[in-house]
Each structure stands twice: as structure tokens, then as C-alpha cells.
Structure 1
């Protein structure tokens, strides 16, 4: 039985289990899906439960000559990627709240000093951005005009902010997934004090109230971000790799 909600399961199944299946092993699936977007024409999901799902467009399957490969498995497919010079982005770790932890979120009281941000907070948010490095701003991708923005204050100063935007899964508007990505940033002098944990849990609860479930992603080598995800109560769903944008077809 999965730790995660039907919404999360359905989201990832739509990404990786829709199309012509080239493998019969439930723990290792390869699916050819012509409806994948160009920037996701090849994706690999290595789940925390040990399952590996691969989805690719027909032209990529032809490029890799998968039809000629007997006993297709993950090492063999990755070997074919290397031999055909198909490059992948560095993997993202993907975290979600389990069903049990989602229920716990619903029962929590709002944390002191944490609240939704609006256009009225523009000056405080501008000061917050000015106090952060360009690298931190790029990595976190926290914006005041995102779908939902929450912040933690010390006095009148905004010291931590998280923003969220609904996931774009290339589906029709009526079929958009109810998953929202989150970014979070704490100013350096205020790190290690629990601000980011409280803001992450608060914005996840807000997403639930709007009918969405939060998704938290970070690069595999970002140990601090992964530690924050776990400290906030998120569970690892798996690692997700996507073909590099500048990969030559």
C-alpha cells in the first residue's frame, strides 16, 4: 500500500504509465508516449520503493533502437543513452507529504509570525530579495506574484518566504493535475531557526485548502534542501530525470 495519496499516484502514473508499454516487469516499466512535451521527451523516475519508470516519445525510442534490445532493463537502457549521446539533467529529488502527514497538517494551528503575503507586502518582499544573493534567488525561485506566497516575519522584517505555482503537465485546462511546486528561501542570518520548516508546512496546508497537494524538489547534491524537506515532514517519492534541453537529437 502506498504512503501517498491517490492524487499523487495518479499524477505520476499519468506521466509514466500512459502509452505503449515495452516492458512487462511491474518494477521496471518503459512506456512510449507520443503526447509527451518536447522538453520531457525522455524522463526517468526512480521511486523510493525501488520501482523505475521510463517514459519517452516514439522518435527517442527509435533513436535508441529499443525494439532490437532483448531483456530491456535499466542498466541496458542507460548504456544506450550513453552510446547515442543522449544527455539527462541532473536528477531532482521529489518529496510529497504522505497521506498520514497531510492529515496532520490539517490539524495544525497557524504558526506565529507566518502568514500569506499580498501585493501590500511588496516593500517588505523587495527588502527581502535585496538581502539575498543572486544565487539563492535563482535556486529558490520565490516570487511575490506566484499563485500562493507565505512568509515568516521577525518583527516587521520578512526573513523567510515560500511561493508555489501549479504544475504544468501539458494537459488540457480541465485536466490539470492538482500538484503545486514550491520554492523556499531563508535569509542567511535567520537559518537554522525553524522558519523554513514552519513556512513549508503552512504553505502546504494552504495548498490543501485550495484542493492542491504540494511537491518539493531539489537537486540530489543539495543536502541542506533535502534535510529541510525531511525536517518539514515530507517523504521522498523518488528521483526524477529529464532529457537535457540542449541534447542533440
Structure 2
């Protein structure tokens, strides 16, 4: 369903280093290439496979090699027992491989266009009309790698921005629509336009949202994305 770019990208953290378990439903690996702020990373795909990777230092603290036959559930229990806290999970959405060619060829809606620094005034007005919480959650910025907006007349009412992950084939996006303009197709238009831009430049658009954000999940599906799985990393509040 998904391109090999995505499947290869997400298999890499759990296939390198020392693989302790490789069962049909649970993969556990020690990966020295993980950054410290991702010293635990856990991926659960929609196919029901849970993959986990840890740095060697954390694996040693947890005495991971001495543990009995761990399952996904007992691994999570081991983390909790050792006060290793995971950040709240994000759902990951990508375009199915079969949908990407049509996406690249799709023209943007009439009211949607790419934004540049010349749009700083309308973008500032847009930000001023949004709540601080919405701005923090969406993380839409005019100086990101790509920015698209949807207009109601001359007013910017929805915007999406995107930035490529470092040394990765994916480009992460955020989207924000002013409350009074939601449900009118603006967000879907900017998401598809910015994702078309990214795929035409060799990136896989990546849409993330928290598990309890049902409106964001609905937007992803309405935009043609499909859920790949859920992803967790170490919490900044973790003591280990």
C-alpha cells in the first residue's frame, strides 16, 4: 500500500545494530545510531506489528539482554518499572503509493496558492486571528521549506507549512484553519496542494497528529492520506 521509501525508512531503526527479537508481532533492537532524544523509539503499524529500538546505554540500564522472552506488552511494562516515560503517541499518515501520481498532477484549488515572504502581512493577520494553542499545535510558519494558504476573498483563512526531516526522505507538515472557516474544504485544499509540491520534489509527505485529535485524523483521511501506524519516542520528562 505504501511506497518502499516509507517502509524502508521506518524499518531502518529496528533492523540495524543488535536485533534481540524478531517475531511476527514484535521486533526489539539495540541501535547505537539513535539520537539521545530518541533513545527509545516505538512504532506500531496498522498491521499490528510493534517495533522498538533503544540506545546501547539505555538497554544496559534496563538489563535488556537479561530479560526473559519479552513481548510488546512486557517491554512497555519494563519501561514503566524503570521510570522510562514515552511521549504521547502520534498517528502517522502517508499517501498510498498508488495515489501519488494523481496527487502530483492535481492542480491546486482556485483559492489555494503557495505563500512567500511577500505574504508576511496577510500571514501575520492570520496568526493574530488564531489562538495560541492552535498555533502551538499546528506549528505552521512562513519561513518553513514550503507554505501554502487558502483564501476567503483577500483573507488568509487556512495555511499549511512543511519542512523536511534531516537526512530523511519525509517532509513533515502542519495545518491550521481559523475556526469560523473550518468544514468548508480549505484545510483539505492546502494539504493536498502542499503534498503535491512535496511529492513532485521527491519527498514523502508526512502527516502526524495525536491519537485523541479526531478532527485532524478526519482531515488526513479526507485529504487522501492513510494511517501507517503510531509512533512514540522518549519523553523529555523521563528520568532515564
Q: TM-score range by the shorter chain?
A: over 0.9
How far apart in 2 are the matches of 1:88 and 1:98? 28
- What is the TM-score normalised by the length of structure 2? 0.97
Contact 1:89 1:244 in 2 (8 A): yes
Match of 2:224 in 1: 233
SS at match of 1:227: helix
Structure 2 gaps of 5+ residues are none
Match of 1:211 in 2: 202
Once the two structures are TM-superposed, the CA of residue 24 in structure 1 deviates from its matched residue by: 2.8
Match of 2:211 among 193, 205, 220: 220
Match of 1:116 in 2: 114
- Match status 1:178 vs 2:163: no
Match of 2:48 among 43, 47, 50: 50
Once the two structures are TM-superposed, the CA of residue 109 in structure 1 deviates from its matched residue by: 2.3
Per mean C-alpha deviation after superposition, the further-off stretch among 103-112 and 198-207 is 103-112
* 1:6-62 deviation digits (Å, cap 9, x = unpaired): 111121122332211000314311010111000000011000111111011011111
State the Cα RMSD in Å. 1.0
SS at match of 1:150: strand
- Match status 1:35 vs 2:33: yes
Match of 1:166 among 164, 186, 189: 164
Contact 2:171 2:204 in 1 (8 A): yes
SS at match of 1:23: strand
SS at match of 1:185: strand
Once the two structures are TM-superposed, the CA of residue 99 in structure 1 deviates from its matched residue by: 0.3
How far apart in 2 are the matches of 1:121 and 1:183? 18
Tell me how many residue pairs correspond in the alignment: 240
Match of 1:106 in 2: 104
Contact 2:87 2:233 in 1 (8 A): yes
Structure 1 gaps of 5+ residues are 169-175
- What is the TM-score normalised by the length of structure 1? 0.94
How far apart in 2 are the matches of 1:160 and 1:107? 22
How far apart in 1 are the matches of 2:141 and 2:6? 25
Once the two structures are TM-superposed, the CA of residue 181 in structure 1 deviates from its matched residue by: 0.2
Match of 1:145 in 2: 143
Match of 2:134 in 1: 136
Match of 2:83 in 1: 85
After TM superposition, where is structure 1 displaced by more than 4 Å over at least 4 residues in a row? none
Match of 1:171 in 2: none
Contact 1:17 1:55 in 2 (8 A): no
Once the two structures are TM-superposed, the CA of residue 105 in structure 1 deviates from its matched residue by: 0.6
* 1:51-94 deviation digits (Å, cap 9, x = unpaired): 11101101111122221222211111111111111111110001
